[in-house]
Amino acid sequence: MPLAKKLPAKTSRTPKTLGAVARQQLLLVDGLLDEVARNYLARLHREIAELLRVLEGKQAEPGFSRRELKGLQTILKKISLLQINPERGRRKDLKKIDALIGELQSTVEKW
């Protein structure tokens, strides 16, 4: 989906017209932001749910292997090292959570 519409003809490039086009484009970006954020969060929630399913499946088994116990310790350590400030609502905090989920998936995949 193209983000920018063509600007009006040169003769009608008045400040008012340009302002209206800019407003339209900003509203489009605002809608895209909501859609991207919704999809991004949904993906992260799915990945966390999958990690939980794997952990619950392992708990249902008779016991953890030595490798799995080491992996659990790694998971707990990585989670405890996560330092974010949710009140700030920063992209870097989302990136940290995304990276953490990826690292946890890598650990669990080795089981």
**What would the mean pLDDT of 42-59 be, rounded to a whole number?**
95
CA distances, 80 to each of 34, 51, 76, 77 (Å): 30, 17, 6, 5
Q: How confident is the model at residue 14 (pLDDT cuts 50, 70, 90)?
A: confident
How far apart CA 64 and CA 69 sit, in angstroms, is 6
**Amino acid, single-letter form, for residue 85:** N
Q: How confident is the model at residue 7 (pLDDT cuts 50, 70, 90)?
A: low
What one-character DSSP code corresponds to residue 21?
Answer: H
Q: What is the pTM of this model?
A: 0.77
Listed in order, strand segments (DSSP E) in the chain are none
Q: Which of 109, 81, 73 shows the shortest CA–CA distance to 97?
A: 81
pLDDT, tens only, 57-109? 988 888 788 999 999 999 999 999 999 999 999 999 999 999 999 999 999 99
